[in-house]
Each structure stands twice: as structure tokens, then as C-alpha cells.
Amino acid sequence: MWKKLVLAAAIVFAHGVQAQTPETPRKGGTIRFTAPYGASFGGMDIHATNLAQDEIWARAIHRALYKWDSALNKPVLELAKTVSVSSNGLVYTYQLRDDAFFHHGRRMTADDVIWSFNRIVEPGKSYPGARFVRAIKGAVEVEKGEAKTISGLRKINDFTIEMTLAQRIDPAYNFNLAVTAIYPADEAVKESFARKPIGLGPFKFAEYVPGSRIVMERFDKFYAKGKPHADKLVIYVMGDAAARDVAFRNKEVDVSVLGPAQYVAYRGDANLSKSILEVTENYTRYMGMNSSFKPFADKRVRQAVNHAIDADLIIKKMVYDKAYRASGWLPTTSSAFDKNLKPYSYDLALARKLLTEAGYPNGFEFEITASSNESWGSPIAEAFIPMLAKAGIKAKIVPVDGTVLGERVRKGDYQAYLWSNGSGPDPLAALKCFHSATPRSACNYTEFKSPAVDKILDDADRMGPGNPKRDEVLKQANALVYDEAPYWFFNYNKAVLAHQPWIKGLQRNANEMAWQNYEDIWVDASSPAAK
């Protein structure tokens, strides 16, 4: 009798323990990813192109000095073991990893790091990463051709480098993308590198079929022990959302980035809704109002616009809840996000009152320059134009091609425009767009000017990146900007990634959901590509 009880208890106990053990990553199998932002990749030299589409494959093969950690929501050291900062915050000394190997077998040294950064600012070429490397002292001179190497980068020994910055910023935010990846100095000069890239990442290059897919295999000498888990990683180029939907439902691919219409469909399906990953991305959608267009010069008019549009309804009905209502420029994932800040209320009467106070009792007319984007383009304008009409404001859409929108906005050739811009991850960098010293061509598109905001931003700059009080101060700046309403604040994008039940380890990357750290992902035995 006792024996039976003990046995029974032991069995129950064993089951309980098993249920509590977290899933251990399974080794092997193939991860089948999709790159949804176009019909091709821009070649195999990641320094040359900065499109979101290309970062998707580059993260598997290459590494940069830092890596984005989605759990912590900030960049962390990757190719260096430690870093020490000087007291003035301008000199960073990195102890590089001595266990990082390139795919062709050679160990990474300080020479590779220095060579890669110098290549990015090569004078004859216009590599997009130059905008990040420019933060290093001496880089600008190399860009202009006045110096041969970056003076601010100094090799102390094979595994130590000293980086002197030109301004006080946090280099982690500059050097975590593959456009600043570290290349092997000896191999990258060869012509074959453009077809067969060699990097420091968890997967090594196997095959590239332009316009179709890139196939990569596990690199066994990757420095993170036990990673990557999968044997193979295939990234398929699939630009058409409808076709991607079919492929996903047909279990031919493991992940699919969802647009608003599909989000509804997947949410409504009993099975598919269980494996959707959502995250608020660092992108704010808005309508910019040109301060040089007379009605918009008055803050009350701008606030009236914010009150006259029922943004929640549009988000619910048109974007199918695939966005979060904006309450300020900084998104919810920003470290300086203030959840106590209330969004503008939908109040027609208040809007009309503000308009009358500002001298427009009968409203006014304006033009909205917009692209055809379904989430932040003319469809959105079509939805709120009737709402504005109720407040007496008549609006008309000026349709433009997506590539032209940016040009017009940067030149100030608009009255109002609809766009989606990055608002993170660094809150200071995002809010600097509202500093009066920032030119319109950079990102102060409406030529916003507020001495109060300027002062706070300057203070924050002086505080330096490590200072915990900085976020508090930035919250105030964000609130001030919100009150001034240079924009109609629409929403923060909700990135949605549908995944098959057998793929685990996906991360909620607030910068871009399609950018994953593949070494953390694995497929369990139920995948059709589990071998």
C-alpha cells in the first residue's frame, strides 16, 4: 500500500517536473524565413545597401560591434567583451572578442574592425553606413578625401581598439546594424566577396539565387556556445503579400510579416491566431503640417486638426487595430515614453472653437501630399477628410509616388503630408528632429521652432547617454512637442509576425520585426523541414 502511494507520488512528481522544465532548443532542421520588402536583395555586399530588406539576410552572416537585444529593448555589446568609457564620454575602449572567427577560418582582430570602418567612409563610394561612422572623430575627413584613415580609431593591440567620438553619443545605437558590419580585411578586397560574403555571423553563406532565395548553413565555430541551433537557414524573397499568405497557409514558409487585412484574417482564425507575434515598432505615423502655410502657423489650428479626427476609429476600422494610438512622438517602446500622457480627444466642438479663436470660423482649405501606402497614405486621408469637413476644414489629396514624397517634404514643397518615420530607438535622436537647429532637409520637416524644447534637448545632450535623469527630461520635451502639435499624431505601427507553431525563439524587435537574431531560433520536430 505504501509502496504504491510512493510510486504514484513519484510519477506525479516526475510529470510535474517535466511540465515545468522550459523547452530546450532542438538542434537541427531548417529555418525558412521570408523577406517581404521587395522582390530581390541588393547584392551580397551589405555595406552598399541600407534597405530593410537587405538587413534581413545580413544579420545571419555578418556581425557588427553591437547587437540589438529585443528582450532588453536596447543594443548590447556583441563583438567586444567589455567597453570602458572615458570621463568626458568621448573615448570608448573596446576589448574585442578573441574567439570570433570569420567563416573562412581566420580569427577577427582589431585590424578587421579598423579596416571595415575605414571602408564604410571610403571617399569614392557613398556607403549608407557612413552616416553612422561619421560619429567617430576623423571620419568626416576621410569621407572628404582629406585623410587616408580615421584618426579617431586607434589600435592598442590585436584585441583592443580605442574609438574617439566627435560628439557625445552612445555608439551602441550607431553600430548595431549590418551596414556597419565587420568584414575580413583580407577577403573583402577580393572580387569573389561580392558573390560569396564572408562574415562573423552564426550562419555561413551557401547559395544565393538572385530574386529567389539565399541559403545559409550553420557555422560551427560561432562564438556563442551551442548556437545556432538550426542546421540551415533559408530566406525566401517574397514581395507579394497575397502570395506570401498562400505559402504560409500551405506551410511552405515558417514566418510571414502581416499587413492590416491579413492581420484581421489571421486574428479571426482559431488556429492561426495562436501564433502571432506583435510588437510596437519605433515608427510613428503622422500628418505633418507646414508651419509656413498660414493656417498651420497657429498652434490652435493644429490642435483643432488633432481634435477633429477620430483617430481611434480609423485605427480600428482601417488599420484593423494593427497600430497603437499615438500620444506623442515617442512610441510605447521608447525608454522616454510617458504612459500618463493622454492622446488628443475626439471633440468636434472643441475643434470648431479653436478654429474660431484662431480666426477661421468657416474653416479653410489645404492639400495633403500622400503616397498610396495602405497604412499611412491616401486611404487614411480618404477616411479623415469627411471628418475634417464636419469641422469646416476642406482637404484634398495630392497623390505622389513614394519616392517623390520624401523629396517634396524635405524641400518643404507641401501644405500637409502623410508619412511614417522612425521615432527610436534612441529617444534623444528622435526628438532632435524638433530642435530648431535641425534643418528641414535633415528631419525637421515642418521647421518646428520652440525655445523651450530647444533648451530641454540641449540639456539632455549635455547629460550624456548614461545619465538616468535624461529620460525624465526627454519625457518633458515629448510632452511639449505634443502640446505644440506640429503634426496630427496618428499611431505607432504594430508589427505583426505570423509564425508556424514549430518555430521557436523569435524575438519582438521593435525596430523591425523581420530583423531577427537567427542564432536564438530553432525548429522543433513537427516542422516539415525538421531534418
Partner 1 sequence: MRLTRANLVLGAFLIGAVVIGGVLAPWLAHTDPVMDANLMNAETAPGREFWFGTDGQGRDVYSRVLYGARTSLTVGIVSQLINSVIGVTLGVSSGYWGGWWDDWVSGLTNMMLAIPSLIFALAIMAILSPGITSLLIALGLTNWSYSCRISRAATLSLKGQGFVQAAKMLGYGDVRIMLTQILPNILGPIIVIGTLGMGGAVLAEAALSFLGLGIRPPAPSWGSMLSNAREQITTAPWVAIFPGLAIFFTVLGLNLLGDGLRDLLDPQSKARV
Partner 2 sequence: MTAYVLRRLWQMVPILLAVALLIFVIFSVVPGTFASATAADGRNVVDAQVLERMNREFGLNDPVHVRFGKYVAQLATFDLGISLRSREPVTVVLGQRLWPTLQLTLAAMLLALALGVPLGFVAALKSGGWVDSLSMVFAISGLSVPLFWLGLMLMYLFALVLGWLPSFGYGDPSHLVLPALALCVFPMALLARTTRAVVLEILHADFVRTARAKGMSEMRVVRWHLVRNAMVIVLTMAGLQFGSVIGQAVVIEKLFAWPGLGSLLVDSVSTRDIPVVQGCILCIVIFFLFSNLLVDVLSARIDPRIKYT
The reply on whether position 400 binds partner 1 by CB under 8 A is yes
For residue 36, give the nearest of 19, 50, 54 by alpha carbon.
Answer: 54
Contact criterion met (CB below 8 Å) for 154 and 82 = no
Task: Name the grid cell of 154.
Answer: 586607434
Chain position carrying cell 555589446? 77
The reply on whether position 392 binds partner 1 by CB under 8 A is no
Using CB under 8 A as the binding rule, the residues of this chain from 128 to 187 that contact partner 2 are 128, 130-131, 134, 143
Report the SS3 class of residue 323.
strand
Using CB under 8 A as the binding rule, the residues of this chain from 103 to 132 that contact partner 2 are 124-128, 130-131
Report in angstroms how near the CB of residue 239 gets to partner 1 at its nearest.
Answer: 10
- H helix intervals, 275-340: 299-308, 311-317
Among 85, 276, 443, 473, binds partner 2 (CB under 8 A): 443
Residue type present at position 103: H
Which of residues 108 and 179 has its CB atom nearest to partner 2 in the complex? 179
For residue 512, give the nearest of 277, 212, 292, 308 by alpha carbon.
Answer: 277
Q: Which window, 102-110, 223-231, 399-407, 410-418, contacts partner 1 (CB under 8 A)?
A: 399-407
For residue 286, give the nearest of 418, 384, 460, 128 by alpha carbon.
Answer: 418
Contact criterion met (CB below 8 Å) for 184 and 106 = yes
The reply on whether position 378 binds partner 1 by CB under 8 A is yes
Q: In Å, what is the CA distance from 4 to each residue of 7, 11, 13, 15, 18? A: 5, 10, 14, 17, 21
The reply on whether position 241 binds partner 1 by CB under 8 A is yes
Q: In Å, what is the CA distance from 524 to each residue of 203, 224, 502, 521? A: 19, 20, 5, 10
The reply on whether position 50 binds partner 2 by CB under 8 A is yes
The reply on whether position 409 binds partner 1 by CB under 8 A is no
Contacted entry of partner 2, partner 1, none for residue 261, CB cut-off 5 to 8 Å set by kind: partner 1
C-alpha gyration radius of the chain: 25
Among 382, 413, 458, 483, binds partner 1 (CB under 8 A): 382
Using CB under 8 A as the binding rule, the residues of this chain from 318 to 337 that contact partner 1 are 318
Q: Which window, 57-65, 172-180, 187-195, 315-323, contacts partner 1 (CB under 8 A)?
A: 315-323
The reply on whether position 528 binds partner 2 by CB under 8 A is no
Q: Which window, 74-82, 198-206, 416-424, 498-506, contacts partner 2 (CB under 8 A)?
A: 416-424
Distance CA 294, CA 25 (A): 60
Among 118, 306, 333, 420, binds partner 2 (CB under 8 A): 420
Which of residues 213 and 435 has its CB atom nearest to partner 2 in the complex? 213
Task: Name the grid cell of 165.
Answer: 567620438
Report in angstroms how near the CB of residue 251 gets to partner 1 at its nearest.
Answer: 16
Q: In Å, what is the CA distance from 16 to each residue of 13, 22, 349? A: 5, 12, 60
Among 399, 412, 465, 528, binds partner 1 (CB under 8 A): 399
The reply on whether position 245 binds partner 1 by CB under 8 A is yes
Q: How many helices (H) and strands (E) does the chain have?
A: 17, 19
**Start-to-end CA span in the chain (Å):** 47
DSSP string, 281-297: EEEEEEEEE-TTSGGGG
Distance CA 181, CA 128 (A): 12
Which of residues 7 and 404 has its CB atom nearest to partner 2 in the complex? 404
Which of residues 109 and 516 has its CB atom nearest to partner 2 in the complex? 516
Task: Name the grid cell of 247.
Answer: 505559402
The reply on whether position 38 binds partner 1 by CB under 8 A is no
The reply on whether position 385 binds partner 2 by CB under 8 A is no
Contacted entry of partner 2, partner 1, none for residue 259, CB cut-off 5 to 8 Å set by kind: partner 1
Among 23, 191, 220, 401, binds partner 1 (CB under 8 A): 401
Contact criterion met (CB below 8 Å) for 61 and 517 = no
Phi and psi, residue 316, nearest 5°: -70, -45
Pairing of the two strands 416-422 and 255-257: unpaired
Q: Which window, 37-45, 159-167, 475-483, 519-527, contacts partner 2 (CB under 8 A)?
A: 37-45
Task: Name the grid cell of 272.
Answer: 492561426
List the x/- string, 247-266, binding to partner 1 by CB under 8 A.
------------x-xx-xx-
Using CB under 8 A as the binding rule, the residues of this chain from 458 to 487 that contact partner 2 are none
The reply on whether position 372 binds partner 1 by CB under 8 A is yes
Distance CA 464, CA 425 (A): 16
The greatest distance separating any two alpha carbons of the chain, rounded to the nearest whole angstrom, comes to 92
Which of residues 328 and 392 has its CB atom nearest to partner 2 in the complex? 328
Which of residues 350 and 397 has its CB atom nearest to partner 2 in the complex? 397
Per CB under 8 A, residues contacting partner 1 are 241-242, 245, 259, 261-262, 264-265, 268, 313-314, 316-318, 372, 374, 378-379, 382-383, 386, 399-401
Per CB under 8 A, residues contacting partner 2 are 37-40, 42-45, 48-52, 124-128, 130-131, 134, 143, 194, 209-213, 236-240, 242-243, 246-247, 249-250, 252, 283, 371, 376, 400-407, 410, 419-422, 433, 439, 441-443, 512
